[in-house]
Amino acid sequence: MRWRDSGRSSNLEDRRGGGGRAAGGLGIVGLLVVLGVSLFTGANPLELIGVMDQAQGGGSTSAAPAPIEDAAEEPMVRFMSATLDDAQGTWRSLLARQGAAYTDAKLVLFRGGVSSGCGNASSAMGPFYCPADQKVYLDLGFFDELQRKYGAPGDFAQAYVLAHEIGHHVQHELGTDEAVRRAQESRPDSRNALSVALELQADCYAGVWAHGAAQRGDLESGDLEEGLAAAAAVGDDRLQQQSGGGVHPESFTHGSSAQRMQWFRAGFDRGEPAACETLSR
């Protein structure tokens, strides 16, 4: 992917140097984050909660010393910064056409664990968006797992991950996430189906951004395939297969590999938010 290095984004918070977990309970919002993102990495949500509880034990605010910031990661930090600014610029323009304002999200980089507005989180959760503080949380080590464990290498695969999380911020800006939460409360039997629809829309929104990048000539040969491979790699069915427990569609929260590829491609092909009406189906 072609990108312009303009340094670190003003919307970047780098907590890799020592911003560990803070004390305090996980809370309802944090629990929802755990349940919502656990299938993104295939981790057992009960194990994730256990990791967080251990981190909070005894009310201590201390954390294991974080490694000194590695200069070797700086190119990736700047690539993430460029992707963040580009994606948010795209959505600022798209929403302005609809007469809607767009407030920038922040990207928080961390190592090991982090305190967020949605509670304390471990790297095992994978990247996530917290609507309570409107920030995306990312441990750059996830990209190693994306390549080695999930078989989705490439810089555009990394860009897809961030664009998906920014898609959740767009949903928050439009009030979509809150509408889904209310629908889940009133229709508990549709909770998982609504979660899947929300996640697939974020995939589609990532595709909308990718469409704009392609129109500007920023995509290189193989980039689209990298994005599709990343979408497929984190499908619920593939993650469940990897965990060895069989495939259980009734427990899906993010959608199958085929669905995630389908909706990312739908956004990419049309380049308009209107292509992403997953919640009306």
Q: pLDDT tens for residues 122-180?
A: 998 899 999 999 999 999 999 999 999 888 999 999 999 999 999 999 999 999 999 99
User: What is d(CA 116, CA 137) in angstroms, rounded to the nearest whole number?
Assistant: 8
Residue with tokens 């040969």: 221
This prediction has a pTM of: 0.82
User: What is d(CA 172, CA 232) in angstroms, rounded to the nearest whole number?
Assistant: 24
- H-helix or E-strand spanning residue 135: strand 135-138
Read off the pLDDT of residues 175-226 as tens digits, 9 standing for 90 and up: 999 999 999 999 999 999 999 999 999 999 999 999 999 999 999 999 999 9
